[in-house]
Structure 1
Amino acid sequence: MTTNDLTAAPDDASFAVHVPDVVLEPEPLDPAQIVSGAPVVTGAVLWESPDGKQLRGIWQITPGVVTDTEANELFVVVSGRATVEIEGGDTLQLGPGTAAVLREGDRATWTVHETLRKAYHITLS
């Protein structure tokens, strides 16, 4: 499977991608989420469970400040830097190599200092 052809492998096949080279597609950002700047979000779903409740993929956001209500997610930052403030909780400093866990329903403010790319696994209720 190549990084530009994510459909080349059967759904149940093991595969590997070079995360920095995965071609990402635009993902519209709700203007109400933008606090400052003009951040742009892109992503690619690499795998989805048959019931649609688990997703694995790559996600990227350019500098700016946005709010979000989080899903149950584990991710590893591949490149870039951001600060994520969890309402009523911790402030996470993210950079290359950082693994983070977000809880479903967390309300967060993302301050993206440098374009951030992450590989993620999301479990939906």
Structure 2
Amino acid sequence: MTTHDLSSFAVHIPDAELEADPLDPAQIVSGDPVVTGKVLWESADGKQIRGLWQITPGVVTDTEADELFVVVSGRATVELEGGSTLELGPGVAAFMREGEKTVWTVHETLRKAYHINL
């Protein structure tokens, strides 16, 4: 379900089927994390994306987009370059700044709903 209009929609996040979204092997620090996701909506110009994302346990690096998300299930610790740490778990809303360098330590498979501005 990807749409380019502003139609309303509802998705039961815990049961939504996700598709493979392989990590760049250079991002994997330890473990064998697997990423899946699903774009639910994308603006016609591709500059806004709303969707679901999931990662299994492991440690990965990332360079973030301008993103607001809410964790639905699972747990992770995210270390931000410069020293701050975010503890993520069910019900936690978080914002990441574009270009921010992070290290994600995923303790339990984490699933989130997100909105990204590119």
Q: Partners in 2 of 1:71 and 1:98 — Cα distance?
A: 18
Q: Does 1:112 align with 2:103?
A: no
* Identity percentage of aligned residues: 77
Q: Partners in 1 of 2:83 and 2:6 — Cα distance?
A: 38
Using structure 1 for the length normalisation, give the TM-score: 0.91
Q: Partners in 2 of 1:39 and 1:56 — Cα distance?
A: 22
Matched pairs, number = 118
Alignment of 1:1-125 (within 5 A): 6=1, 11-124=5-118
Q: Partners in 1 of 2:5 and 2:26 — Cα distance?
A: 35
SS in 2 for 1:108: strand
**1:87 aligned partner, one-letter code:** E
Question: Mean alpha-carbon deviation: is it higher for 9-18 or for 60-69?
Answer: 9-18
Q: Unmatched 5+ residue regions in structure 2?
A: none
| Alignment root-mean-square deviation, CA | 1.2
Moved over 2 A (4+): 9-12
Q: Unmatched 5+ residue regions in structure 1?
A: 1-5
**2:57 aligned partner, one-letter code:** P
CA drift at 1:89:
3.9
CA drift at 1:12:
2.8
Q: Partners in 2 of 1:12 and 1:55 — Cα distance?
A: 12
Using structure 2 for the length normalisation, give the TM-score: 0.96
